A and B are shown apart, each in its own frame.
Chain A
Amino acid sequence: MPERLINHLKERRTELGLTQAELADRVGVTRKTVNTVENGVFTPSTILALKLAEALDRRVEELFSLIED
Protein backbone atom coordinates (compact mmCIF):
# COMPACT_ATOMS: atom_id res chain seq x y z
CA MET A 1 0.00 0.00 0.00
CA PRO A 2 1.56 3.36 -1.00
CA GLU A 3 2.52 5.55 1.92
CA ARG A 4 3.66 9.14 2.11
CA LEU A 5 5.81 10.87 4.69
CA ILE A 6 4.41 14.10 6.06
CA ASN A 7 6.02 16.42 8.56
CA HIS A 8 5.07 19.22 10.93
CA LEU A 9 8.44 20.90 10.84
CA LYS A 10 7.27 24.27 9.57
CA GLU A 11 4.44 24.53 12.12
CA ARG A 12 6.76 23.72 15.01
CA ARG A 13 9.53 25.99 13.72
CA THR A 14 7.22 28.98 13.38
CA GLU A 15 5.68 28.16 16.77
CA LEU A 16 9.17 28.59 18.26
CA GLY A 17 9.76 31.73 16.21
CA LEU A 18 12.71 30.27 14.34
CA THR A 19 13.73 31.03 10.79
CA GLN A 20 14.85 28.27 8.42
CA ALA A 21 18.39 29.62 8.69
CA GLU A 22 18.34 29.48 12.50
CA LEU A 23 17.04 25.92 12.51
CA ALA A 24 19.60 24.94 9.86
CA ASP A 25 22.34 26.43 12.02
CA ARG A 26 21.17 24.44 15.05
CA VAL A 27 21.26 21.10 13.24
CA GLY A 28 24.32 21.76 11.06
CA VAL A 29 22.82 21.80 7.57
CA THR A 30 22.06 24.51 5.03
CA ARG A 31 18.81 26.46 4.80
CA LYS A 32 18.20 24.65 1.51
CA THR A 33 18.05 21.27 3.27
CA VAL A 34 15.60 22.52 5.91
CA ASN A 35 13.48 23.95 3.10
CA THR A 36 13.43 20.69 1.14
CA VAL A 37 12.54 18.69 4.26
CA GLU A 38 9.70 21.10 5.11
CA ASN A 39 8.38 20.91 1.55
CA GLY A 40 8.52 17.12 1.56
CA VAL A 41 10.97 17.11 -1.35
CA PHE A 42 13.74 15.48 0.67
CA THR A 43 13.43 12.69 3.25
CA PRO A 44 16.06 13.24 5.94
CA SER A 45 18.26 10.49 7.35
CA THR A 46 17.51 9.12 10.83
CA ILE A 47 20.42 11.18 12.17
CA LEU A 48 19.09 14.43 10.74
CA ALA A 49 15.53 13.61 11.84
CA LEU A 50 16.79 13.07 15.40
CA LYS A 51 18.75 16.33 15.30
CA LEU A 52 15.69 18.20 14.03
CA ALA A 53 13.55 16.66 16.76
CA GLU A 54 16.05 17.69 19.40
CA ALA A 55 16.35 21.22 18.04
CA LEU A 56 12.56 21.60 17.96
CA ASP A 57 12.08 19.90 21.35
CA ARG A 58 9.75 17.25 19.98
CA ARG A 59 9.94 13.49 19.45
CA VAL A 60 10.64 12.31 15.90
CA GLU A 61 7.18 10.71 15.66
CA GLU A 62 5.60 14.05 16.50
CA LEU A 63 7.43 15.75 13.64
CA PHE A 64 7.21 12.99 11.03
CA SER A 65 4.43 10.55 10.27
CA LEU A 66 3.34 8.22 7.49
CA ILE A 67 -0.05 8.54 5.84
CA GLU A 68 -1.67 6.20 3.34
CA ASP A 69 -2.36 7.65 -0.08
Chain B
Amino acid sequence: MTTMTDAERADKLVQRRTRMLPVLAILLITQQGAFLSSTNDGRTVDHVKIAAWVVMAAVVLLALVTGGGWIFPKRVRELANDESTQLHRLQAMRLGFINAMLTCFLLYVLGMFTPVPGRDAIHIVTTVGLASALISFATLERRALRDA
Protein backbone atom coordinates (compact mmCIF):
# COMPACT_ATOMS: atom_id res chain seq x y z
CA MET B 1 0.00 0.00 0.00
CA THR B 2 1.40 3.43 -0.94
CA THR B 3 1.25 6.20 1.63
CA MET B 4 0.34 9.68 0.45
CA THR B 5 2.63 12.61 1.07
CA ASP B 6 1.35 15.69 2.92
CA ALA B 7 1.16 17.55 -0.42
CA GLU B 8 -0.98 14.81 -1.97
CA ARG B 9 -3.25 14.73 1.06
CA ALA B 10 -3.57 18.52 0.88
CA ASP B 11 -4.49 18.29 -2.81
CA LYS B 12 -7.17 15.72 -1.97
CA LEU B 13 -8.46 17.94 0.84
CA VAL B 14 -8.68 20.93 -1.51
CA GLN B 15 -10.60 18.90 -4.10
CA ARG B 16 -12.94 17.42 -1.52
CA ARG B 17 -13.56 20.84 0.05
CA THR B 18 -14.34 22.33 -3.35
CA ARG B 19 -16.95 19.63 -3.93
CA MET B 20 -18.43 19.96 -0.44
CA LEU B 21 -18.87 23.75 -0.29
CA PRO B 22 -21.86 24.01 -2.67
CA VAL B 23 -23.49 21.06 -0.86
CA LEU B 24 -23.13 22.94 2.44
CA ALA B 25 -24.64 26.05 0.86
CA ILE B 26 -27.62 24.04 -0.41
CA LEU B 27 -28.11 22.44 3.03
CA LEU B 28 -28.03 25.86 4.67
CA ILE B 29 -30.56 27.34 2.22
CA THR B 30 -32.82 24.27 2.49
CA GLN B 31 -32.85 24.53 6.28
CA GLN B 32 -33.62 28.21 5.93
CA GLY B 33 -36.57 27.40 3.66
CA ALA B 34 -37.90 24.91 6.21
CA PHE B 35 -37.64 27.53 8.97
CA LEU B 36 -39.49 30.24 7.06
CA SER B 37 -42.24 27.94 5.81
CA SER B 38 -43.05 26.59 9.30
CA THR B 39 -45.00 28.27 12.05
CA ASN B 40 -42.79 28.77 15.06
CA ASP B 41 -45.21 28.76 17.96
CA GLY B 42 -42.85 27.87 20.77
CA ARG B 43 -43.03 24.08 20.51
CA THR B 44 -39.98 22.12 21.68
CA VAL B 45 -39.39 20.85 18.16
CA ASP B 46 -39.15 24.46 16.92
CA HIS B 47 -36.48 25.27 19.48
CA VAL B 48 -34.52 22.18 18.42
CA LYS B 49 -34.84 23.21 14.78
CA ILE B 50 -33.65 26.74 15.52
CA ALA B 51 -30.75 25.44 17.63
CA ALA B 52 -29.76 23.03 14.85
CA TRP B 53 -29.72 25.87 12.34
CA VAL B 54 -27.60 28.07 14.63
CA VAL B 55 -25.12 25.22 15.17
CA MET B 56 -24.93 24.53 11.45
CA ALA B 57 -24.45 28.21 10.61
CA ALA B 58 -21.68 28.45 13.23
CA VAL B 59 -19.93 25.35 11.87
CA VAL B 60 -20.14 26.68 8.31
CA LEU B 61 -18.74 30.04 9.43
CA LEU B 62 -15.90 28.30 11.28
CA ALA B 63 -15.15 26.13 8.23
CA LEU B 64 -15.11 29.22 6.04
CA VAL B 65 -12.81 31.15 8.38
CA THR B 66 -10.37 28.34 9.15
CA GLY B 67 -10.51 26.37 5.89
CA GLY B 68 -11.88 23.23 7.57
CA GLY B 69 -10.14 19.84 7.38
CA TRP B 70 -9.84 19.76 11.16
CA ILE B 71 -9.18 16.02 11.26
CA PHE B 72 -6.07 16.43 9.11
CA PRO B 73 -2.57 17.09 10.51
CA LYS B 74 -1.45 20.72 10.87
CA ARG B 75 1.00 20.50 7.95
CA VAL B 76 -1.72 19.23 5.58
CA ARG B 77 -4.09 21.99 6.70
CA GLU B 78 -1.38 24.62 6.17
CA LEU B 79 -0.76 23.33 2.65
CA ALA B 80 -4.48 23.23 1.87
CA ASN B 81 -4.75 26.84 3.07
CA ASP B 82 -1.87 28.25 1.07
CA GLU B 83 -1.66 31.69 -0.53
CA SER B 84 -4.13 31.25 -3.36
CA THR B 85 -6.68 29.62 -1.04
CA GLN B 86 -6.37 32.47 1.45
CA LEU B 87 -6.97 34.99 -1.32
CA HIS B 88 -10.01 33.07 -2.57
CA ARG B 89 -11.38 32.87 0.96
CA LEU B 90 -10.92 36.61 1.50
CA GLN B 91 -12.64 37.39 -1.81
CA ALA B 92 -15.50 35.03 -0.95
CA MET B 93 -15.94 36.49 2.54
CA ARG B 94 -15.92 40.03 1.15
CA LEU B 95 -18.72 39.07 -1.25
CA GLY B 96 -20.59 37.38 1.60
CA PHE B 97 -20.29 40.53 3.71
CA ILE B 98 -21.50 42.79 0.88
CA ASN B 99 -24.46 40.49 0.18
CA ALA B 100 -25.34 40.37 3.89
CA MET B 101 -25.29 44.18 4.04
CA LEU B 102 -27.43 44.50 0.90
CA THR B 103 -29.90 42.03 2.42
CA CYS B 104 -30.04 44.19 5.56
CA PHE B 105 -30.89 47.24 3.44
CA LEU B 106 -33.60 45.31 1.59
CA LEU B 107 -35.10 44.02 4.85
CA TYR B 108 -35.02 47.54 6.26
CA VAL B 109 -37.01 48.82 3.28
CA LEU B 110 -39.35 45.81 3.46
CA GLY B 111 -39.88 46.58 7.17
CA MET B 112 -41.46 49.90 6.18
CA PHE B 113 -44.31 48.05 4.45
CA THR B 114 -44.68 44.84 6.47
CA PRO B 115 -43.40 43.76 9.88
CA VAL B 116 -40.27 41.60 9.63
CA PRO B 117 -39.67 39.56 12.81
CA GLY B 118 -36.14 39.96 14.15
CA ARG B 119 -35.42 36.23 14.14
CA ASP B 120 -36.54 35.88 10.51
CA ALA B 121 -34.36 38.83 9.50
CA ILE B 122 -31.32 37.30 11.23
CA HIS B 123 -31.97 33.98 9.49
CA ILE B 124 -32.19 35.61 6.08
CA VAL B 125 -29.12 37.83 6.50
CA THR B 126 -26.99 34.98 7.89
CA THR B 127 -28.06 32.56 5.17
CA VAL B 128 -27.48 35.01 2.32
CA GLY B 129 -24.07 36.01 3.69
CA LEU B 130 -22.83 32.49 4.38
CA ALA B 131 -24.30 30.81 1.30
CA SER B 132 -22.98 33.42 -1.10
CA ALA B 133 -19.51 33.23 0.50
CA LEU B 134 -19.54 29.43 0.26
CA ILE B 135 -20.61 29.44 -3.38
CA SER B 136 -18.09 32.13 -4.27
CA PHE B 137 -15.25 30.26 -2.51
CA ALA B 138 -16.19 27.03 -4.30
CA THR B 139 -16.33 28.78 -7.68
CA LEU B 140 -12.92 30.43 -7.23
CA GLU B 141 -11.33 27.18 -6.05
CA ARG B 142 -12.90 25.17 -8.88
CA ARG B 143 -11.63 27.69 -11.42
CA ALA B 144 -8.13 27.46 -9.93
CA LEU B 145 -8.20 23.66 -10.03
CA ARG B 146 -9.17 23.66 -13.68
CA ASP B 147 -6.32 22.26 -15.83
CA ALA B 148 -4.22 21.69 -12.69
Which segment of B35-43, B55-63, B127-135, B138-146 sits at the interface?
A: B138-146
Q: A35-B148, A39-B147 are in contact. Are A29 and B5 (CB under 8 A)?
A: no
Number of interface residues of A (CB under 8 A): 20
Q: Is A66 an interface residue (CB 8 A)?
A: no
What's the least CB distance linking A6 to chain B, in Å? 18
CB within 8 Å: A-B pair count: 56
Give the residues in chain B near A31, CB-CB below 8 Å.
7, 11, 148
Q: Is B28 an interface residue (CB 8 A)?
A: no
Q: Is A45 an interface residue (CB 8 A)?
A: yes
Q: Are A41 and B82 in contact (CB under 8 A)?
A: no
Q: Is A7 an interface residue (CB 8 A)?
A: no
Which segment of B83-91, B93-101, B111-119 sits at the interface?
A: B83-91
Give the residues in chain B near A29, CB-CB below 8 Å.
79, 82-84
Number of interface residues of B (CB under 8 A): 19
What's the least CB distance linking B3 to chain A, in Å? 15
For B10, give the chain A residue with the smallest CB separation: A30
Q: Is A50 an interface residue (CB 8 A)?
A: no
Q: Is A21 an interface residue (CB 8 A)?
A: yes
Q: Is B125 an interface residue (CB 8 A)?
A: no
Q: Are B147 and A33 in contact (CB under 8 A)?
A: no
| Sampled A-B contacts (19; CB under 8 Å) | A20-B148, A21-B7, A21-B8, A28-B79, A28-B82, A29-B83, A30-B11, A30-B82, A30-B84, A31-B7, A32-B144, A33-B83, A33-B144, A35-B147, A36-B84, A41-B143, A41-B144, A42-B144, A48-B83
